[in-house]
C-alpha cells in the first residue's frame, strides 16, 4: 500500500511537471508579447526592458522553467524598476497587472472556489443520490418518469442559463457574496447559498440519473435477495445493502466532477460575483497575466491528478475486494 502510494505520488509529480513545462512552452514560446501587454499604451523602451527582465523573458526558455521551478520550492526575488520584491516559496510568480504575488492571489481565490464547490457537492450528492434511490425503487412508475424527465430537462438547459435564471429571478435568496468561513460561518454560508443551490440543482439532476442507474443494477443483485430473505426491513435492504454497493461507481464520477469544478466554477463565480479561481483565471486570460495563468494551469493539473489518486484510494475503502499494489 505504502509503496503503491509512493509510486503513484511520484508519477503524479511527473505528470504535473510535464504539464507545467508544456504550458510554459505554450505561453512563453507563443508569438505573443507578454511584456508589451503588461507595459501597455504608454510604454517606454526602458520600462519594456525592465518588465522583460523581471519576467525573465530575456533568458532562454529552459532557464526560465528552471527559475520557475526553483521559485516553487525555494522562493525567488523579482527586481522591477529598482524595486526588489521577495516572493516566498511556494512562489508562483508575480502579477504585474494586479501588483501582487500570484501565491497570494491564489490563496485568496482558492478558498472561495473550494467553498462553492464543496458546498454545492453536499447539495447535489444529497439530493441527487436520494432522488436516484427513490426513482430506482419506483422504477417504471409515473414518479420515476417524472423524476428522470425533470433531470433530463434541467441538464438540457446550459449551465450558465440556469445560473443566470437563478441570479435574476431567485431574488428571495440572500444576496451572494464571499465572507471567509473563519470570520463568521453564518455569513459565509448565507453568502454562498445561491451558488450552492445553483451548482447543486444542476448537478443533482445528473447525479439522480447516475444513482438511479447504479441503484437499479445493485437492487437486482443476488445479495439483495439474500438480504431480504434474512427478514430485515426494506429500508435497511435498500440503504445499507443496496446503496452501500451502488455508491462506488458514483464515487468515480464524483471525483472527476469535483476536480473539474475545482479548477474553475467560472459561471457560478461570475454570475454571483464570487472572487474564485475561475474568475481570477478568466481575468488573467483577458489581460494576458501570464504568471496567474500559469498558476491556474498548475493548480488545475495538481487537482486533477490528486483527485484521481484520491478516488483510487477511496475505492479500497469502499470496496474491500480492491487492494492497491
Q: Residues in the site for other proteins, rule: CB under 8 A?
A: 221-223, 225-234, 241, 244-245, 318-321
What is the closest distance, in whole angstroms, from the C-beta atom of residue 233 to other proteins in the complex? 7
What is the closest distance, in whole angstroms, from the C-beta atom of residue 151 to other proteins in the complex? 23
What is the closest distance, in whole angstroms, from the C-beta atom of residue 240 to other proteins in the complex? 8
Nearest to 273 by CA among 171, 186, 169, 164: 164
Nearer to other proteins, 139 or 179 (CB): 139
From residue 285, how far is each of 27, 156, 238, 288, 293 by CA, in Å?
11, 29, 48, 5, 7
What is the closest distance, in whole angstroms, from the C-beta atom of residue 245 to other proteins in the complex? 6
Nearer to other proteins, 42 or 230 (CB): 230
Nearer to other proteins, 26 or 143 (CB): 143
CA gap 162, 202 in Å, rounded: 8
What is the closest distance, in whole angstroms, from the C-beta atom of residue 67 to other proteins in the complex? 50
CA gap 325, 320 in Å, rounded: 14
Nearer to other proteins, 223 or 285 (CB): 223
Q: Is the bond preceding residue 293 a cis peptide, omega within 30 degrees?
A: no
What is the closest distance, in whole angstroms, from the C-beta atom of residue 231 to other proteins in the complex? 4
Nearer to other proteins, 170 or 232 (CB): 232
Nearer to other proteins, 8 or 137 (CB): 137
Nearer to other proteins, 92 or 211 (CB): 211
What is the closest distance, in whole angstroms, from the C-beta atom of residue 99 to other proteins in the complex? 54
Task: Count the Cβ atoms, other than its own, within 10 Å of residue 258.
Answer: 19
* Chain CA centroid to CA 99, Å: 26
Please name the residue that has the C-alpha cell 520557475.
68
From residue 162, how far is each of 38, 118, 201, 202, 221 by CA, in Å?
36, 19, 9, 8, 37
Cα distance from N-terminal residue to C-terminal residue, the chain: 6
Nearer to other proteins, 81 or 140 (CB): 140
Contact between 56 and 291 (Cβ < 8 Å): no
CA gap 123, 257 in Å, rounded: 14
Q: Which residues pair with 77 in a beta bridge?
A: 86
What is the closest distance, in whole angstroms, from the C-beta atom of residue 56 to other proteins in the complex? 54
Which letter, b or e, does each residue of 302-316 get, where b requires 16 or more Cβ atoms within 10 Å of its Cβ?
A: bbbbbbbbebbbbbe
What is the closest distance, in whole angstroms, from the C-beta atom of residue 147 to other proteins in the complex? 18
Nearer to other proteins, 10 or 232 (CB): 232
CA gap 104, 110 in Å, rounded: 10
Phi and psi of 97, rounded to 5°?
-70, -30
Amino acid at each position: 500500500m505504502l509503496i503503491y502510494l509512493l509510486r503513484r505520488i511520484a508519477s503524479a509529480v511527473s505528470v504535473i511537471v510535464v504539464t507545467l513545462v508544456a504550458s510554459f512552452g505554450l505561453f512563453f514560446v507563443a508569438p505573443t508579447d507578454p511584456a508589451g501587454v503588461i507595459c501597455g499604451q504608454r510604454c517606454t523602451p526602458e520600462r519594456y526592458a525592465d518588465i522583460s527582465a523581471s519576467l525573465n523573458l530575456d533568458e532562454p526558455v529552459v532557464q526560465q522553467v528552471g527559475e520557475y521551478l526553483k521559485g516553487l520550492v525555494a522562493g525567488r526575488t523579482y527586481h522591477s524598476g529598482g524595486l526588489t520584491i521577495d516572493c516566498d516559496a511556494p512562489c508562483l510568480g508575480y502579477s504585474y497587472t494586479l501588483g501582487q504575488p500570484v501565491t497570494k492571489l491564489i490563496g485568496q481565490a482558492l478558498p472561495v472556489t473550494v467553498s462553492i464547490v464543496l458546498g454545492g457537492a453536499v447539495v447535489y450528492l444529497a439530493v441527487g443520490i436520494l432522488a436516484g434511490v427513490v426513482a430506482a425503487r419506483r422504477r417504471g412508475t409515473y414518479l420515476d418518469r417524472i423524476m428522470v424527465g425533470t433531470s433530463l430537462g434541467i441538464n438540457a438547459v446550459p449551465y450558465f442559463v440556469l445560473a443566470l435564471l437563478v441570479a435574476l429571478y431567485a431574488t428571495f435568496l440572500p444576496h451572494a457574496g464571499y465572507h471567509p468561513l473563519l470570520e463568521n460561518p453564518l455569513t459565509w454560508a448565507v453568502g454562498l447559498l445561491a451558488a450552492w443551490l445553483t451548482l447543486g440543482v444542476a448537478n443533482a439532476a445528473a447525479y439522480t440519473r447516475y444513482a438511479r442507474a447504479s441503484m437499479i443494477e445493485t437492487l437486482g443483485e443476488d445479495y439483495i435477495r439474500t438480504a431480504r430473505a434474512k427478514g430485515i426491513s426494506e429500508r435497511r435492504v435498500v440503504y445499507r445493502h443496496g446503496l452501500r454497493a451502488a455508491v462506488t461507481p458514483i464515487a468515480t464520477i464524483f471525483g472527476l466532477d469535483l476536480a473539474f469544478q475545482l479548477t474553475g466554477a467560472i459561471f457560478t463565480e461570475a454570475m454571483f460575483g464570487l472572487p474564485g479561481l475561475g474568475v481570477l483565471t478568466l481575468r488573467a486570460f483577458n489581460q494576458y497575466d501570464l504568471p496567474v495563468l500559469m498558476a491556474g494551469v498548475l493548480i488545475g493539473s495538481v487537482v486533477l491528478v490528486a483527485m484521481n489518486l484520491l478516488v483510487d484510494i477511496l475505492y479500497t475503502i469502499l470496496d474491500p475486494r480492491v487492494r492497491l499494489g
